[in-house]
């Protein structure tokens, strides 16, 4: 794949709202299928290749700058990097026959053909930007829907391979950095807050019970009974609500339990400055500590100027391995990761 840019890891513009420090990145995915075609999980590689060709043709002429990548010709290294950046689902490359990736310049919008559904149209941006991400996706979807007969029912909306996605088939997700919730032991309250807001919380790797780096992805559940605009507004409002709670909890901790924050931050700083072997999870957690330290004023550092999303991605195993030119051992990766962190983020005072 010629362009491996990760749109959510690009540098952010200056933040205006204090709650912005909590938002890491956000994105939207629309799932679409073609009428009269079996879903990809039930169709032959040849039928899937025909779907790839139809999608490619439908897009041709709209924007000639879009790139087309046959998944069968994608190399394992690039696929790994895209997977780690969450631009490709985990199983996409494992069975690449009849699958393709269409991407606009800088991967600002991508269409994955024949993953779980015929089309997954997606876009991500740093910060909380769902309301800006949706309109161009909507326009792209309109363009495609004027050329492709989508599988659609007036009652059930866009029909998807997983019935839980039917309806708008829109999934809006926001990544939040919530170290305050972890330090105050409020994770349970967090789940209780999320439930009535109709949103689900998952970790960076999609798990429901582990949140490395204190990162939480908040996303909508269900796509029937709400319009696209309502889902975007609801998820945005839920993200704001949780961000406000996080800031309240941080202020409360700073006032009543400053040792908890200071301990977490100091340990993180010490790890980043002194580790010679560090795993991806430990690195994510230490980065969370340094970020909190800088944001809370416990460490000198350009918290606002740092690109935390890019750092988070840079410490992931396949991103570390990509620099080697061969498949490094886990220990070699851990050594390289520690070097990278000492060079790029270790605070001077340790």
Partner 1 sequence: MLCQICKVNPASIHIQEIVNGKKQTIHLCLSCAGKKTLAHAMFDGMDLGDILNSLEQNLAEMGMPAPGREDGAADGEKKVCPVCAWRLEQFRETGRLGCPACYESFADELKNTLAFAHRSCVHTGKLPLYLPQKQTGKKLDSMEERLGMNRERERQIETLERDLAESVRREEYELAAELRDKIESIRRALAACQPVKTADGDPC
Stretch that binds partner 1, among 68-76, 96-104, 227-235, 273-281 (CB under 8 A): 227-235
Stretch that binds partner 1, among 61-69, 152-160, 277-285, 342-350 (CB under 8 A): 152-160
From the list 7, 157, 212, 213, which residue makes contact with partner 1 (rule: CB under 8 A)?
Answer: 157
| Pair 26, 130: CB distance under 8 Å | yes
**Could you tell me the sign of the dihedral formed by the alpha carbons of 100, 103, 108, 109, in that order?**
negative
- In angstroms, rounded to a whole number, what is the distance separating the alpha carbons of residues 297 and 265? 10
Q: Which of 107, 104, 247, 224 is nearest to 170 (CA)?
A: 224
**What does the block give as tokens for 49?**
């290749």
167 scored as a contact of partner 1 (CB under 8 A): yes
From the list 20, 187, 226, 310, which residue makes contact with partner 1 (rule: CB under 8 A)?
Answer: 226
Show the binding pattern over residues 96-125: x = contacts partner 1 (CB under 8 A), - = does not.
--------------------x---------
- In angstroms, rounded to a whole number, what is the distance separating the alpha carbons of residues 245 and 19? 10
Stretch that binds partner 1, among 11-19, 178-186, 222-230, 268-276 (CB under 8 A): 222-230
Instruction: For the segment 307-336, give every residue that binds partner 1 (CB under 8 A).
Output: none
Closest approach of partner 1 to the CB of residue 242, in Å: 20
Closest approach of partner 1 to the CB of residue 54, in Å: 12
Q: Which of 114, 91, 117, 116 is nearest to 101 (CA)?
A: 114
| Pair 176, 24: CB distance under 8 Å | yes
Stretch that binds partner 1, among 81-89, 147-155, 251-259, 264-272 (CB under 8 A): 147-155
Q: Which of 55, 332, 31, 38 is nearest to 163 (CA)?
A: 31
- In angstroms, rounded to a whole number, what is the distance separating the alpha carbons of residues 127 and 102? 24
Closest approach of partner 1 to the CB of residue 229, in Å: 8
> Which residues are near partner 1 by CB under 8 A?
33, 35-39, 41-42, 116, 138, 141-142, 145-159, 161-164, 166-168, 170, 198, 208, 221-228, 230
């Amino acid at each position: 794949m010629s362009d491996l840019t990760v749109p959510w890891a690009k540098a952010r513009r200056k933040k205006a709202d204090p709650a912005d420090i909590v938002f890491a990145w956000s994105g939207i995915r629309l799932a679409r299928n073609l009428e009269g075609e079996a879903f990809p999980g039930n169709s032959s590689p040849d039928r899937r290749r025909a779907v790839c060709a139809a999608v490619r043709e439908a897009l041709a002429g709209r924007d000639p700058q879009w790139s087309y990548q046959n998944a069968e010709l994608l190399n394992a290294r690039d696929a790994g990097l895209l997977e780690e950046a969450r631009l490709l689902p985990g199983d996409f490359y494992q069975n690449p026959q009849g699958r393709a990736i269409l991407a606009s310049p800088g991967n600002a919008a991508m269409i994955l053909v024949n993953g779980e559904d015929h089309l997954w149209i997606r876009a991500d941006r740093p910060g909380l930007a769902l309301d800006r991400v949706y309109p161009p996706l909507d326009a792209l979807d309109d363009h495609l829907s004027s050329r492709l007969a989508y599988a659609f029912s007036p009652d059930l909306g866009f029909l998807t391979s997983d019935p839980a996605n039917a309806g708008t088939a829109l999934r809006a997700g926001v990544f939040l950095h919530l170290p305050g919730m972890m330090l105050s032991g409020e994770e349970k309250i967090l789940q209780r807050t999320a439930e009535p807001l109709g949103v689900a919380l998952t970790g960076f790797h999609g798990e429901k019970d582990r949140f490395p780096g204190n990162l939480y992805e908040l996303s909508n559940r269900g796509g029937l009974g709400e319009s696209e605009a309502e889902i975007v507004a609801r998820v945005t409002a839920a993200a704001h609500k949780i961000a406000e709670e996080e800031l309240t909890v941080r202020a409360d901790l700073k006032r009543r339990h400053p040792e908890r924050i200071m301990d977490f931050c100091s340990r993180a700083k010490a790890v980043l400055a002194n580790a010679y072997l560090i795993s991806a999870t430990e690195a994510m957690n230490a980065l969370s500590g340094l970020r909190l330290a800088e944001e809370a004023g416990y460490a000198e550092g350009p918290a606002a100027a740092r690109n935390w999303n890019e750092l988070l991605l840079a410490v992931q195993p396949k991103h570390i391995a990509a620099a080697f030119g061969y498949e490094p051992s886990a220990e070699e990766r851990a050594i390289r990761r520690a070097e990278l962190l000492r060079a790029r983020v270790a605070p001077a005072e340790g």
